Chains A and B, each alone.
Chain A
Amino acid sequence: MIPTIRSYLTGDGVSWLDAAIAKIHADAGAIFAVFPAAGRRCGRGALDDGWTVDQAVRVTLLLELPLDGEPLGLLLFDLYAHGDAGERLAVLASLSVFDDAGRLGEAGLPIVRDALRTSDTRLIGAAMSRYGAARLPAEAYRQAVLKCVFTGVPLSGVAGLESRADRELARMMADFAKEREAAGRVVPPDIWPILERHPDLRAGLSSDTKGAS
């Protein structure tokens, strides 16, 4: 759910946002100029649920685009591809919002896949929102969860684990834990819930604090 942003903005911020929306209505291409400027014009403070002001303003602007489906996905990909980290995070955050409104379908998946290929943990985490979690095929979803664990992205922010964590993912987590233990390294504790329903896979792992006896 995107916060209703206007109440967090100053008078100047609201005027800028209204003018930016009017520009997009007149010409959708205006998004290329207003999208990067949102943080400087409206601020970057933290809001509830992990949102920031600039991110919520940017998603508010995107929602005004007169597009959906494939054309929307292509424009979002372009904004993402040539965006700085703040812009990329905003595009990733918009995917679930567009999907809730039935406007995007599968057309945002290339963005999710690109973010998962990066080495920026902020982007990797943001790619695993509800949209990515719901739309990625099983193999890609498992690989993405493993990449999160590997790069230190907390699984608490990864959507869909309740329904999508299967035996194969549990096996991958168990192998990962074994590899870490063999190297004398710490195993991130957030992997254990994934192994909960598969006690046989936990056998022999010493760092499982709950014990696998």
Chain B
Amino acid sequence: MRIFDPHIHMTSRTTDDYRRMYDAGVRALVEPAFWLGQPRTSPGTFADYFDGLLGWEPYRAAQYGIAHHCAIALNPKEANDPRLRGVLDLLPRYLAKDRVVAVGEVGYDEMTPAEDEVLQAQLALALEHELPVLVHTPHRDKAAGTLRTLDVVKDSGLPPEMILVDHLNEMTAKAVADSGCWSGFSVYPDTKMDVHRMIALLRLYGTDRVLVNSAADWGHSDPLKTRAVGDAMLADGFTEEDVDKVLWANPVAFYGQSGRLELDEVSPAADYAGNTIKRGVAP
């Protein structure tokens, strides 16, 4: 089973996790920029964080045979801190980098005017840099927040296939499926979504445009939940092809829209036409 975790915060994880993930079949991942347990207070710390997502973390991942990519953004919670508004000015420079395969995580936390402003500014940046967008939906008041997110995304001028709306549940899955956006499900040990509910949702909505992630971070979470979903799918009668679609082909198709995925070293057999490694070099 080959696995692409489309949403995991490896900066907060250990090398033991990398080793266990590789053993479970994880060969590629996307680490979106998000908030940390401790709020930050200046744009400079974001620059260091982004540099880490582009430098140290992919280097670390490569030691364990895993291809690391990232998404870059100012997250909704910290969008509310006026001291951090300067982070928006840093973004164009980072969105130009190799291995930055999306703008994210953007979205809503408490649906404040500041969050609105920052979300819209970053959707415009995604359009300009031709990057897909990873949208976080709020933990509280999720259903209303998700509907509002879909409206804002529609108005942004970005086509729905460039948008992944994440952390969905039974209350929000249908609206996102109907919108034409990609649906993301974060499978957690206790909250958000568990393996059995995930299987039920896959039965209900099918495997098209569906991504499953562990969203593992500095909180109570488990980087092997992607594998657990794959095993549960097989036990429930899904085919190996279905599993490969959800856990590999779908994330590759979504983030592949950036033109910046580099998976050659991890998946020589992948049916993936968008690789850029040798592009432009004369034979």
Q: State yes or no: do A and B come from one complex.
A: yes
Contact with B along A7-23 (1 / 0, CB 8 A): 11110110010000000
Interchain CA distance A33-B92 in the complex, whole Å: 9
Interchain CA distance A81-B259 in the complex, whole Å: 25
* B54 close to A (CB within 8 Å): yes
Instruction: Find residues 176-230 in chain B having any chain A CB closer than 8 Å to their own CB.
Output: none
* B239 close to A (CB within 8 Å): no
Interchain CA distance A9-B283 in the complex, whole Å: 9
B59 touches A85 (CB 8 A): yes
* A71 close to B (CB within 8 Å): no
Contact with B along A80-122 (1 / 0, CB 8 A): 0111111110000000000000000000000000000011101
A53 touches B276 (CB 8 A): no
B96 touches A82 (CB 8 A): no
Q: Given A36-B96, A84-B98, A42 and B280 touching (CB < 8 A)? A: yes
Interchain CA distance A40-B101 in the complex, whole Å: 13
Residues of B within 8 A of A53 (CB): 280-281
Interchain CA distance A8-B281 in the complex, whole Å: 6
* B260 close to A (CB within 8 Å): yes
Residues of B within 8 A of A42 (CB): 280-281
Residues of A within 8 A of B54 (CB): 83-85
* B268 close to A (CB within 8 Å): no
Interchain CA distance A49-B79 in the complex, whole Å: 47
Interchain CA distance A32-B94 in the complex, whole Å: 10
Residues of B within 8 A of A8 (CB): 281-282
B282 touches A82 (CB 8 A): no
- B side interface size, CB within 8 A: 22
Instruction: Among B59, B93, B280, point to the contact of A43 (Cβ < 8 A).
Output: B280
* B140 close to A (CB within 8 Å): no
Specify which of B47, B55, B99 lies most central, judged by the most chain A CB atoms within 10 Å of its CB.
B55
Residues of B within 8 A of A119 (CB): 56
Residues of A within 8 A of B58 (CB): 84-85
CB distance from B43 to the nearest CB of A (A): 12
Instruction: Among B47, B51, B280, B282, point to the contact of A41 (Cβ < 8 A).
Output: B280
Contact with A along B28-69 (1 / 0, CB 8 A): 000000000000000000010001001110110000000000
Residues of B within 8 A of A118 (CB): 56
Interchain CA distance A94-B5 in the complex, whole Å: 36
* A189 close to B (CB within 8 Å): no
- A side interface size, CB within 8 A: 31
Q: Given A85-B59, A120-B59, A39 and B51 touching (CB < 8 A)? A: no
Interchain CA distance A8-B260 in the complex, whole Å: 21
Interchain CA distance A55-B273 in the complex, whole Å: 24
Residues of B within 8 A of A211 (CB): none
Interchain CA distance A84-B276 in the complex, whole Å: 17
Q: Given A9-B280, A82-B93, A40 and B55 touching (CB < 8 A)? A: no
Interchain CA distance A115-B171 in the complex, whole Å: 49
Interchain CA distance A41-B54 in the complex, whole Å: 19
Residue of A nearest to B264 (CB): A44
Residues of A within 8 A of B279 (CB): 40-41, 43
Interchain CA distance A99-B280 in the complex, whole Å: 29
* A37 close to B (CB within 8 Å): yes
Residue of B nearest to A35 (CB): B96
B280 touches A10 (CB 8 A): yes
Interchain CA distance A84-B282 in the complex, whole Å: 25
A120 touches B260 (CB 8 A): no
Specify which of B51, B278, B281 lies most central, judged by the most chain A CB atoms within 10 Å of its CB.
B281
* A204 close to B (CB within 8 Å): no
A32 touches B93 (CB 8 A): yes
Binding site for A on B (CB under 8 A): 47, 51, 54-56, 58-59, 93-94, 96-99, 259-260, 276-282
Report the 5 A-B pairs with minimum CB-CB distance, sorted nearest first: A43-B281, A13-B280, A43-B280, A84-B54, A45-B281
Given contacts A40-B259, A82-B94, 20 further A-B contacts (CB under 8 A): A8-B281, A9-B281, A32-B96, A33-B96, A36-B97, A36-B98, A39-B276, A40-B279, A41-B280, A43-B278, A43-B280, A44-B277, A53-B281, A82-B51, A85-B59, A86-B98, A87-B97, A120-B55, A120-B59, A122-B59
Binding site for B on A (CB under 8 A): 7-10, 12-13, 16, 32-33, 36-37, 39-45, 53, 81-88, 118-120, 122
Give 7 CB contacts A-B under 8 Å: A8-B281, A9-B280, A10-B281, A84-B55, A84-B98, A85-B58, A122-B59
